[in-house]
Structure 1
Amino acid sequence: MTYTGEVRPGGPTDVRVLDEVEIRKVSVGPTDNDAYLVTCRRQHAQLLVDAADEPDRLLALVREGSGAARLDTVVTTHRHPDHHRALASVVAVTGATVTAGAADAAEITAATGVPVDRTLRDGDVVLVGHVTLEVVALRGHTDGSVALVYREPERVSEADTVPGRAHVFTGDSLFPGGIGNTGGDPARFDRLLTDVTTRLFDRLDDDTWVYPGHGRDTTLGAERPYLDAWRDRGW
């Protein structure tokens, strides 16, 4: 099975099989949000990045990953409603732990009625079975926006794997062609571009795979040549 990084609303799941994890991507809802299911291949623990919409479809995705309605954690990348419309329904069925960036947590709870069990800050880690994901705060799209970074092991065997390669789930903070919307606010724009530059581009290699909150995937190498142009254009 070839992973493409491109999905359509109502279309099939895109599945990437790596040594330690499987990554499933679907597009849901009227704003074509990308939701990602990360499954630990050893322990079958599962983490959902953004319970964005269409809860029945997301629950089917969970069952596809583990063969049961087992979901250990939901990470909401930021507080905007299109990224948590299905949160209450998904958590009601699965009992998953709810996590979100500290600065966005209260608004997510107010909008969904779902308590955030754990607030996330830059440098925290989230476990999926025996797999570790690093939390990277990317402030600007919202104050509490977070990304998750997974690194492949140094010894790999699956065909689609690269030793030590990073995979980053960026929510609405980084897309092909630029950073997320900062509402025309120069301070927010500068903060987000600075965080994206110093916390992703300066720390991670060009083969780092980027899984955004909408649209197709990209890599840091594909986007790196345009950082100066993004700053010059101001959005």
Structure 2
Amino acid sequence: MTARIDKVITSGTFELDGGSWEVDNNVWVVGDDSECIVIDAGHEAAPILEAIGERALLAVVSTHAHNDHVNAAADVADAKRAPIWLHPDEAPLWQMTYPDRAPDGALAHGQIITVAGTDLQVLHTPGHAPGACCLYAPELGVVFSGDTLFNGGPGATGRSYSDYPTIVASISDKLLTLPSQTVVHTGHGDDTTIAAEAPHLQEWLDRGE
């Protein structure tokens, strides 16, 4: 039996560089009836914990450390006695939300996370943030893209710790090389597919922000 995917939408504010924006976040719970992981525990712990239920939580996996993707991570992890995993390059952003607490484990490119007999491969995709990562589950035919790739193009850059050429290179090298039918489960908004986004690579390159 392969893992199933549950989606929880939480709402709150994203804050960076003195700005504040109201956002809805996609929180992904991947597992079976006995165990799961949470990808990007943002805003509200209660609905995430409700989705987990009585299952064992193996880890809270953070694709990056913008506050809207991690500000419920500690409450969820502590409630289920689970670790929080994050790429080490996210330390400056993580410390904006958790100045007195470090993540419990480090994500690395190529790392395999196994839950409910299903492997998820960590892809380091910097650009939106220096330690941004995606999680590719070939058996499920999906990639969890965080804020690296959305329905309609790359994630936002132009704020601290982000870089447009870097995110386009990450998408080109790490995501658009996945099978075209791969479903992209994003950090905000609707799903897309690799096939739907790949034809736009040249216009993203030409944009050169």
TM-score (normalizing by structure 1): 0.78
In the alignment, the residues of structure 2 paired with residue 194 and residue 107 of structure 1 have an alpha-carbon distance, to the nearest angstrom, of 22
Q: Residue 128 of structure 1: CA displacement? A: 1.2
Shift of residue 70 of structure 1?
2.4
Q: What is the root-mean-square deviation in Å for CA atoms of aligned residues?
A: 1.9
Aligned 1:72-111 pairs, distance under 5 A: 72-105=58-91, 107-108=93-94, 111=97
SS in 2 for 1:222: helix
Secondary structure, counterpart of 1:52 in structure 2: coil
Q: Aligned partners of 1:92 and 1:109: how far apart in 2?
A: 18
- Deviation track 1:144-192 (CA, whole Å, cap 9, x = no partner) reads 000000011xxxxxxxxxxxx631001000001111111179x921111
Structure 2: gaps of 5 or more residues: 13-22
> Which residue of structure 2 aligns with residue 9 of structure 1?
none
Structure 1 residue corresponding to 2:9, chosen from 9, 27, 43? 27
Q: What is the Cα deviation at residue 97 of structure 1?
A: 1.6
Number of the residue aligned with 1:234: 208
The structure 1 residue matched to 2:123, chosen from 127, 136, 141, is: 136
Q: 1:69: how far off?
A: 4.9
Equivalent position of 2:20 in the other structure? none
TM, length-normalised to structure 2 = 0.87
Distance in 1 (CA, whole Å) between partners of 2:131 and 2:166 is: 12
Cα separation, 2, equivalents of 1:124 and 1:108: 21
Give the counterpart of 2:198 among 193, 206, 224. 224
Contact 1:125 1:135 in 2 (8 A): yes
In structure 2, the residue matched to 1:48 is: 38
Contact 2:35 2:55 in 1 (8 A): no
Alignment of 1:55-74 (within 5 A): 55-63=45-53, 68-74=54-60
Query: What does the per-residue CA deviation read over 1:34-86, in whole Å, with 9 as the maximum and x for residues that have no partner?
Result: 00000146xx22000011111111100111xxxx0521111011110010111
Give the length in aligned residue pairs.
197
Equivalent residue number for residue 167 of structure 1: 142
Structure 1 residue ranges, 4+ long, deviating more than 3 angstroms after superposition: none
Check conservation: 2:36, 2:55, Cα contact below 8 A. Answer: no
Paired with 1:35 and 1:225, the residues of 2 have a C-alpha distance of: 27
Equivalent residues of 2:65, 2:90 under 8 A apart:
yes
Letter matched to residue 60 of structure 1: E
* One-letter amino acid of the structure 2 residue matched with residue 198 of structure 1: D
Change in CA separation of 1:125 and 1:181 when aligned onto 2, cut-off 3 Å: same
In the alignment, residue 36 of structure 1 is paired with which amino acid? W
Q: Which residue of 1 aligns with 2:103?
A: 116
Match of 2:164 among 189, 195, 206: 189
Change in Cα spacing, 1:184 to 1:62, as seen in structure 2 (3 Å) is: closer
Alpha carbons of 1:106 and 1:40: their partners in 2 closer, same or farther (altered >3 Å)?
farther
Q: Tell me the SS of whatever aligns to 2:57.
A: coil
Q: Output the amino acid matched with 1:90.
A: V
1:103 Cα deviation (Å)? Answer: 0.4
1:207 pairs with 2:143: no
Shift of 1:87: 1.1
